Amino acid sequence: MTTTESRGRVRVEQGAKRVRVVFAGIVVADTTRPLLVWEVPYYPMYYLPRADVRTDLFVPTGRTRPSPSRGEGRVSTLRVGDREAVDAVTEYPDSPFEQLRDAVRLDWTSMDHWFEEDEEVYTHPRDPHKRVDILPSSRHVRIEVDGVTVAESARPWLLFETGLPTRYYLPKTDVRLDLLTPTDTVTHCPYKGQAEYWSVGEQKDLAWSYRMPLPESQRIAGLIAFADERVDVYVDGELQPRPTTPFG
């Protein structure tokens, strides 16, 4: 049974997946009892039972990391051989959240690999309350940037992701590729995979594509989407309001 505890904006929920963490070639955590902690509203982070973590690799720093909701965090460095993840460990032994008192937070980006069951996961844990649906559509979608049509299609794929606006993914043959300039930006999504980006004029990273998306998002492979927050999107001739999101 799922148990949830909330305090302020922070929510703690019992997870069900096996989670393994690898650093410097060593499995430093392996648990089937992970906690999902929403430190921010947009996605959760894993906290792992102390008994399932290689605490013998912790080097206490004496520093603390206070949180108004989680309490006083005790900070350690994770050391494996000659490699260190400095200040990558936080524990809240006196947390107001009873579930967190015997849990360990490992800094996501400081670790080399995270696995949910036997699949590597990127960027952050998958949110069990988030769903991604990718559907073919016959709606007519037109994208304008500063009054110039840069894409127009009657065969878009619409991506519906919980908590985010609809994203319109268009075939490359329906996009003015001559107006797109590739950038060095690369991002990762735990649901879709690795994205590459293009600028349009002076607007940097305005469009993106997943060349080899994760299995659950294969339908958008090679298609191009635009940041609806910064372009004009017409659907069946009607201008859509620009959404406000954390990614705008």
Q: For 174-210, how does the pLDDT look when each residue is reduced to its tens digit (9 = 90+)?
A: 999 999 999 999 999 999 999 999 999 999 999 999 9
Residues of the chain with CATH 2.170.150.40: 4-120, 132-239
| pLDDT category of residue 41 using cuts at 50, 70 and 90 | confident
pTM of the model: 0.85
Cα dihedral value 132, 136, 140, 144, nearest 10: 40
Helix or strand run (H / E) with residue 83: strand 83-91
Residue with tokens 């148990």: 3
- Tens digits of residue pLDDT in 125-151: 999 999 999 999 999 999 999 999 999
Q: Which CATH topology does 132-239 take?
A: 2.170.150
DSSP lists the bridge partners of residue 37 as 12, 45
Instruction: State the Cα–Cα distance between residues 27 and 57, nearest whole angstrom.
Output: 11
Q: Are 99 and 196 in contact (CB under 8 A)?
A: no
Query: What is residue 1's predicted lDDT score, i.e. its pLDDT?
Result: 39
Q: Hey, what CATH topology would domain 4-120 get?
A: 2.170.150
Q: What does each C-alpha distance from 137 to 115, 142, 229 come to in angstroms?
A: 34, 13, 21
Radius of gyration for the chain, computed over Cα atoms and rounded to the nearest angstrom: 21
